[in-house]
Amino acid sequence: MLTHDYTYTNLLDRSVNNAWTVEDCYQGRDFDFTKSFLPERIAGVRDIACLNDDERRKLNQIRGNSYCHIFGFVEEYIVPMVLANAGRDIYGDETRLWSLLRFAEEELKHQELMRRACEQFENGFGSHCGLIAGREAVADVVLGKSPLAALLLTSMIEWFTQLHYVEHVRDSEELDGLFRDILRFHWIDESRHARLDTLLIDEVAADLTPDERERAVDQLLELGGAVDGLLAQQLELDIEALAVSAERSFSDPEKSEIRHAQQRAYRWTFLVSGLEHPKFARIVGELTEAGPGKITAAAQALST
């Protein structure tokens, strides 16, 4: 159904040959808080007029921390989702099973990678930064949708993870070195996971009617709406954290300027950059008739 040349054999070889540990990434290093962590395309702090340069850098770092937290957060559901897909053919193709078990194991490793980033951030930043709670509840919501909807959400996330690193971080030498490496190591695995998602989507979609596939896109967009709600909660925590760190209070117009800029940045980062990703758009286009129009409209609505 989907156009690709990915195979479990090839992806398993790449996983085994490019294996890394969390310690390979950190190597005993700490963050350099004199530097920005995220590229401007993700952080969206440059044009906030009510902040000075120091405060923009602090907000960039706060966003770096929440970027790691939200990844650990949204990936919580991927482990049980991948294991459920692996279990559909537990005595069948062993290469498929081994690939998918490594996929699940790598996501557990990513959660450790991201958790450690948040711990080191908390120890080094100088003041506490709030992070949204409720990982398991969100995982339950995602896994309560159809298997195809959960796979489409995963595919979208794994394609945008790559885009963030390759197009916005890899060549940005002005950013903190450890933070860049966290995203680089994550990308090494995600570049394979996005292909495994494609293989799984192909398998799952083959058993569905056209209506069921259309419905999965609707459910994906419902999940996107839930993600948007989480981002809005995190944004308020970020504004509070910035006020504490910068030792100032923001007036209502200042808060709304920060909120407006950050809502755009958060939405681009975690929703629009995935909905508009050409690889993801092609998958939706090959699965459904109406899906491409719906995801384009959703991306446009989130970009205003």
* Contact footprint for Fe ion (CB under 5 A): 75, 110, 190, 193
CB of 161 vs Fe ion, minimal distance in Å: 7
Nearer to Fe ion (CB atom), residue 56 or residue 193? 193
CB of 121 vs Fe ion, minimal distance in Å: 18
Long-range contacts of 239-243, Cβ-Cβ distance < 8 Å, separation of 24 or more: 240/130, 241/62, 241/127, 241/128, 241/129, 241/130, 242/55, 242/58, 242/59, 242/62
Helix axes 291-302, 210-246, angle to 10 degrees: 10
Phi and psi dihedrals of 64, rounded to 5? -65, -45
10 Å CB burial of residue 171 (0-12, 13-18, 19+) is exposed
Nearer to Fe ion (CB atom), residue 82 or residue 284? 82
Nearer to Fe ion (CB atom), residue 110 or residue 145? 110
Nearer to Fe ion (CB atom), residue 82 or residue 178? 82
Q: How far apart are CA 3 and CA 201, in angstroms?
A: 12
CB of 274 vs Fe ion, minimal distance in Å: 13
CB of 189 vs Fe ion, minimal distance in Å: 6
Nearer to Fe ion (CB atom), residue 183 or residue 258? 183
Please name the residue that has the structure tokens 């394609």.
159
CB of 190 vs Fe ion, minimal distance in Å: 5
Contact 193, 267 (CB under 8 A): no
CB of 55 vs Fe ion, minimal distance in Å: 31
Nearer to Fe ion (CB atom), residue 145 or residue 186? 186
